[in-house]
Amino acid sequence: MSHSTENNFEGAIYGDETLRHRQIRLLTILPRDDGNNGDAPIQCSLKPVFLDEEQPVYTALSYTWGHEHDRVRIEVNGEDFPATRNLHSALKHFRNTQDPIPTLWVDAICINQNHNNEKEEQVKFMQNIFSGAKETWAWLGHEANESSKAIDLINDLSNQADKSQWGSLTSRGLEKHATAMDHLLARNYWYRVWIVQEIVLSKNVIF
């Protein structure tokens, strides 16, 4: 949340609009308009909603921004927006794999990064944003080093904890996926300052 954007592409998207008290913006990823081309440009729409009055259903995205200067153009409300490559990868993955595509809250887009007062107010409101989301998607990056096995193990551990069946964990081959888990935990995602708050506040976290 401490990042700043060095250009003013966002100005045409937000205009003079500033968010009001307990208001957020939500992002809708538009379906691909050219068949099954997974590499089609990302097109989105953005609109403000009141969290209390409208009670919107949305998914929060938890991710790392990635390299500040490594950006890919996406379209938001008909205007170019310079998304970081990691965010672009996340949006493309969700567009290509989710049907229907859920409405999202994404900090880099839903908060005007050129408006310091808005950023400050939205950071204060972060607890409400993540706790109010239906679920949180944790984007760790693309599959690599058997990361899917490590994620399956995390989900398995969570399920066993919910059922208080810790005794069965030793038979599920924890050591078998130790290397995959090491690789997964070495990813930059886990070193973000905000990760603990985002996960703890979320109703349901999906890796």
The residue extents of the domains of the chain are 11-141+187-206, 147-183
**Do 3 and 63 touch, CB atoms closer than 8 A?**
no
Round the average pLDDT of the chain to a whole number and report it: 79
What integer pLDDT is reported at residue 66 of this predicted model? Answer: 76
Give 170-174's long-range contacts (Cβ < 8 A, gap of 24+).
none
What type of residue sits at position 157?
L
Contacts of 188 (CB under 8 A, 6+ apart): 64
For residue 39, the tally of other CB atoms under 10 A from its CB is 8
Range ranked top by mean pLDDT from 35-44, 83-92, 181-190, 191-200: 83-92
* Highest mean pLDDT of the ranges 37-46, 49-58, 165-174, 189-198: 49-58
Per-residue pLDDT at 206: 85
pTM: 0.75
- Quote the pLDDT of residue 201: 85
Helix (H) or strand (E) holding 46: strand 43-50
Q: How many CB atoms lie within 10 A of CB 66?
A: 18
Query: For the residues 131-145, what does the mean pLDDT come to?
Result: 80
